[in-house]
Amino acid sequence: MANPIKYYVGVDGGGTSCRARICNLQGNILGEAKTGSANILLGGQIAMASVQDAIATAAAQAQLTEGDYSQMSVGLALAGAEQKQAWYDFMVLPHPYAAITMNTDAYGACLGAWRGKEGAILIAGTGSCGILLKDNRQHVIGGREFPISDQGSGAIMGLRLIQQVLLSVDEIVPHTPLAQRVMAHFNHDVDAIVTWSKTARPCDYGQFSPAIFAHAAQEDSLAVELLKQTAADIEMWLSALIRRGAEQICLMGSIGERIRPWLTPPLQAKLAEPQGDAMDGAIAMAQTGNHNLFPPEV
């Protein structure tokens, strides 16, 4: 006979980090932890290792042991879950939990932001994705992963930065203090940038976003142009959600939280404050277990 569920676990995993939150049946938070990337498109086993590490760390904080894992229902809100084959490949991996259900990180964030009710969000973090839950339907825009999608994200902003820095080295565009800072990061070696780019992940490009915001505050022309372009991309996604019926939108993620002053007033007026986060949404998924993006294989 299967062990009864005693704990709900919500996991929010993206290109930069994986966060886990453990609650009891009454909704009290017992433990919370953060580990490495859990984008399943970067490798299902890598993502599963991050998930299990985050849950283990949160469990230790909650004074739970491996013996308690079989009493955990786990909701996974993971980047890359929209890719069907990657979803299936991940879901067949072994795990010690009583049950898991998986949807995208955007879906989990939307559930959390609107406390399980219908609504819309736009995530602009390492990656980007918009989602509208309306009339029992899920409308998704973007989110097709770096580098072919993810406009308005830290990864795309970082990619554009590197491109402009190389143009500045060739004296095609101004070599601003931001460009100088990036070159110093690579020891003023263009070949080092080229070599780095061959294996750089979205989070590697996204690491430059804080510097872009910081230099924009100092009116660095390159930083200002990058933020203007990022704001335009985010406005494109917001407008697309509005055309699909969104009345208010929660703008979330590390870029979304900082880009608001760069948006036009009419779109700023459409923004709402999220009532919860993606881990809240993932816990809601764990509670019912019926939020899988694709039907489980029989």
pLDDT tens, 184-214? 999 999 999 999 999 999 999 999 999 999 9
pLDDT for 246 beyond 90:
yes
Q: What is the mean pLDDT of residues 61-79?
A: 96
pLDDT for 65 beyond 90:
yes
- How is domain 7-115+276-288 classified at the architecture level of CATH? 2-Layer Sandwich (3.30)
pLDDT for 259 beyond 90:
yes
- How is domain 154-272 classified at the architecture level of CATH? 2-Layer Sandwich (3.30)
In Å, how far from its chain's centre is CA 72?
24
- Please state the three-class secondary structure of the chain as a single string: CCCCCCEEEEEEECCCCEEEEEEECCCCEEEEEEECCCCHHHCHHHHHHHHHHHHHHHHHHCCCCHHHHHHEEEEEEECCCCCHHHHHHHHCCCCCCCEEEEEEHHHHHHHHHCCCCCEEEEEECCCEEEEEEECCEEEEEECCCCCCCCCCCHHHHHHHHHHHHHHHHCCCCCCCHHHHHHHHHCCCCHHHHHHHHCCCCHHHHHCCHHHHHHHHHCCCHHHHHHHHHHHHHHHHHHHHHHHCCCCCEEEECCCHHHHHHHCCHHHHCCEECCCCCHHHHHHHHHHHCCCCCCCCCC
| Sequence spans of domains, the chain | 7-115+276-288, 154-272
pLDDT for 267 beyond 80:
yes
pLDDT of residue 251: 97
Fold match between 7-115+276-288 and 154-272? yes
